[in-house]
Structure 1
Amino acid sequence: MPGVGRLLAALVFPPGIIMVTLTGIDLCTTSFMFTSIAVFHQRLSIWRALLHWVISFFGNLAGALFMVCVIFGYGGSFDSDPWKTALANFATTRQVKPTWPMLFLRGIGCNWLVCLGCFFAMQGRGLVAKAVALYIPIFTFVVLSFDHVVANMFFIPMSIWVGHPSVTIGLYIWKGILPVLMGNILGGSVMCGAYHHLMYSWRTPEHEPAALSPKSDLESGLSRRPSSLTCVVTETGSAATAQIVPKD
């Protein structure tokens, strides 16, 4: 069955991005959305956002190459079949066969879904809710065979390490980084960042972002402006209760 392998890959891939997101580690592809929103809100300059992208990208690349060369390379995890053959097939279908425009468009769709998953996770109140919210979009992009530049940072250099004859460093830079990175930037900063900025921020007074998930009564009260609130203390016998309410 042709789709079984892709389905299994989609089932096991999301935990990686879930761990990255929940631990607060900087993933360059999700940074494209967060920093863009900060720029739209005038909380961050364009140059600082671009600097963040560069540092995050090369930091992710350094971490991926460390895993390729030290952990998996010298560890020999992909030196024998079926892993070596599976890695070669992945490199062929992701680098050798697709054209440059195809990779660019796949990059847009990929980071659109990845950033959408992070957007969902921000609305979750608990760890399980955040993990499930992340899982669904990540599962979807793997099933659809979209391209993620950080995932390529590991799988393509790993295929070069094990000696894939058709994949070279030049091919990886030309087709594994440039089109996918540009597509990921567009998908994260425009399709998610700009869209949600326009959709939510412009609907609220003074362009402040609206709440994206239900709040408790206390949270709703504390989110109001101090000038519009008053504290009412009620005494019942020997007990006293305080309640934050809007002013009349």
Structure 2
Amino acid sequence: MEGKTSKANLVKNWVASYAGNFVGSLLLAYLAFKSGTLGNAPASVAIATAKCGLPFSTAFVRGILCNWLVCMAVYMASGCASLIGKMVAVWFPISAFVAMGFDHSVANMFIIPLGMLRGADVSVSDFLLKNLLPVTLGNIVGGALCVMGLYGSTFGNWGKKKDE
């Protein structure tokens, strides 16, 4: 938005990151399932079922709120010089999103497939269309508009004319 990268490079980065996270999350879910390290993981079944049963608008808003907190964690950590400061800065917003039950697309790329492997009555279509799509769109709004947009328009050049 401030001309530091092209829109094409932004989209390319987002697609590569999303695809890599998706493949990695599916692989981790499969390995966790096969390893038996999580026992029978009954919570994953309940979580997958509940998350895929949300109305589109609810999943979308949960995605906005979640990535707002995640991006604030990254933003706050970037302002800290010490490792301890970065850890504390990240801890509270991430703990808040987990405690409040918000949805992050990458986290859901792991927990919902794990629940499906454990027997959740969730189809691939349910996962992709009823959860991953609205949550991803919400995550984009939460990060790009609620954090970057506000920050860029307040402190950066976003929305300002070239001659200002």
Q: TM-score, normalised by structure 2?
A: 0.91
Residue 156 of structure 2 is aligned to residue 201 of structure 1? yes
Equivalent-residue separation in structure 1 for 2:118 and 2:96 (angstroms): 29
RMSD: 1.4
Instruction: Please tell me whether the aligned partners of residues 46 and 115 of structure 2 are also in contact (alpha carbons under 8 angstroms).
Output: no
Answer 1 or 2: which has greater strand percent. 1
Residue correspondence of structure 1 range 4-23 to structure 2 within 5 A: none
Report SS of the residue matched to 1:195: helix
Q: Which residue of 2 aligns with 1:63?
A: 24
What is the count of residue pairs matched by the alignment?
Answer: 158
SS in 2 for 1:74: helix
Matching of residue 183 in structure 1 with residue 138 in structure 2: yes
Q: Which structure dedicates a bigger proportion of its chain to helix?
A: 2
Q: Would you identify which runs of 4 or more consecutive aligned residues in structure 1 move more than 6 Å?
A: none
Specify the structure having the higher radius of gyration (Cα): 1
Q: Distance in 1 between matches of 2:47 and 2:21?
A: 21
Aligned residue number for residue 147 of structure 2: 192
Which stretches in structure 2 are left out of the alignment for 5+ residues? none
TM-score of the pair, normalised by structure 1: 0.61
| Structure with the larger RCO, 1 or 2 (CA within 8 Å, 6+ apart) | 2
Tell me which residue corresponds to 1:73.
33
Q: What is the identity percentage for the equivalent residue pairs of Structure 1 and Structure 2?
A: 33
Q: Residue 64 of structure 1 aligns to which amino acid in structure 2? A: S
CA distance in 1, matches of 2:64, 2:47: 20
Work out which of the residue numbers 173, 176, 180 in structure 1 matches 2:128.
173
Residue of structure 1 aligned with 2:77, choices 115, 118, 121? 121
